[in-house]
Structure 1
Amino acid sequence: MNLRKWMRLFGLTILTGGLVTTVAGVIMVLMDPEFRNIEADGWLFNIVMMALSGLALGAFAHMGFFAYLTLNYIARSIFKRPYLWVTFQGFVTVFVLVEIMINLYDTNFPQATFWLLPLVLVALAAIVGWFKVRETSRGAWIPSFFFMVTITVLEANPGFKSGSLSSLVYMLLPLFICNTYQIMQLHRLLGTPAEKERTLQAN
């Protein structure tokens, strides 16, 4: 990973965040007027503000991505056997999903959110993990699943505290898509074959 590749990944990640947030924000305003009250002459300003907030979310997702890579590097030096680190990631992911259900139960969010949101996260993260495995190695599934669920949820923590489903989706969706882009680009930017990828991520 040289500076040119890092800048490319960073730039495309924040652009992805800006685009997804803007599109999602416009759709939410049209579907839910209470999400953001926009006058007829204020659309341009609000679209610009949505794009800027999306760029910030993309940058935040990028920070989370490199935080995970740093954690992964440190953990592989602590856990002498790779399967222990992989098992730990699986355990933490399950814990996070249960924690989501507990925290969302009996809150201002719609009643079905406490079970529907974890279910959607699991399904989407599993799809990302499947594509990651298809392009790298079988051992990449759990680390990818951990990253897509645990790291994304941590990054979107303010949205979970908002009490508004629209605000949560507005924050969670671009973070998830940015993280999907980053995890799927990692092995391509490093230019490593599947077996080296397995060693790199303790997969």
Structure 2
Amino acid sequence: MTSRNWVRLFFSTLIVGGLTTGILGFVIRWSEFQEYFIHVNISSILSTFVWLVGVGFIFSVISQVGYFAYLTIHQFGLGIFRSLWNPVQVVLILFALFDLVYFRFEKFAKNNESILPYIALAVFILVVGLIIAYLKAKQSHKNTFISALFFMVVVTIVEWVPVLRVNEKSWIFLMIYPLIICNAYQILILPKYLKRSEAEREQARQRIEARKAEKGKKPRE
């Protein structure tokens, strides 16, 4: 990918993360911000929206760092495990989902609290991951389903760890939706930027060849 398209991908993902957090933040934390709308406090609404967008930018950057880290890990995995890389990824997906349920329940569950909400959260991550992985496999027409599922499940959970350790519900849900949306956006939009980069390289090559041809046609003095 050309540097120009890397920059385009970065800023487009940044905007996606910022706007997603800015909009969903009011819904997720409605109990905190509803007074602004009841009393039509425009300045408070705007300042809160700007703050949420800024937080979304941070979530977006975390998502992008995770994606680039995953691309590196994926190449190492292919080089080390070769044909076994897909089974290894499946095992890691299962471990990540198990840890998401078991360790959170062990650390944060109160007496007689049901484990079902913890399982539901893991199932939600898995279902979303399956949907995005299906779309990715359909888009690329290659064996990318497991890799996309690994990214959407394992990498998303790793990116989510900072707020999972705090276990503040409002922050847990405020962060997970932008992460999922940014991760899904990157994995699905990347082919578009790759094709655009190839087209730009081809145009640059044609311009260079045209200049060489013009120089070759010039009469010798």
Same fold (TM over 0.5): yes
Asked whether the equivalents of residues 144 and 183 of structure 1 are also in contact (C-alpha less than 8 Å), the reply is yes
Residue of structure 2 in register with 1:113 after alignment: 117
TM-score normalised by structure 1 residue count? 0.84
Residue 51 (str. 1) matches residue 42 (str. 2):
no
Identity %: 28
Tell me the amino acid that sits aligned with residue 18 of structure 1.
Answer: G
Residue of structure 2 in register with 1:141 after alignment: 145
Q: Provide the aligned C-alpha RMSD in A.
A: 2.1
In 1, Cα distance between equivalents of 2:59 and 2:109:
24
Deviation sequence 1:24-82 (CA, Å, 0-9, x none): 1111232x33xx69764533222111100101111111111111111112222222x2x
Asked whether the equivalents of residues 38 and 46 of structure 1 are also in contact (C-alpha less than 8 Å), the reply is no
Runs of 4+ in 1 over 4 A off after TM superposition: 36-41, 108-111
Residue of structure 2 in register with 1:156 after alignment: 160
Whichever of the two has the greater Rg, that structure is 2
Q: 2:136 aligns with which of 125, 132, 136?
A: 132
Asked whether the equivalents of residues 108 and 163 of structure 1 are also in contact (C-alpha less than 8 Å), the reply is no
Deviation sequence 1:95-124 (CA, Å, 0-9, x none): 000001102215259843211011111111
Structure 1 unpaired stretches of 5+ = 193-203
Q: How many residues align?
A: 187
Residue 179 (str. 1) matches residue 183 (str. 2):
yes
TM-score normalised by structure 2 residue count? 0.78
In 2, Cα distance between equivalents of 1:142 and 1:27:
33
Structure 2 unpaired stretches of 5+ = 197-221
Residue of structure 2 in register with 1:71 after alignment: 73
Greater fraction of residues in helix: 2
Residue of structure 1 in register with 2:2 after alignment: 2
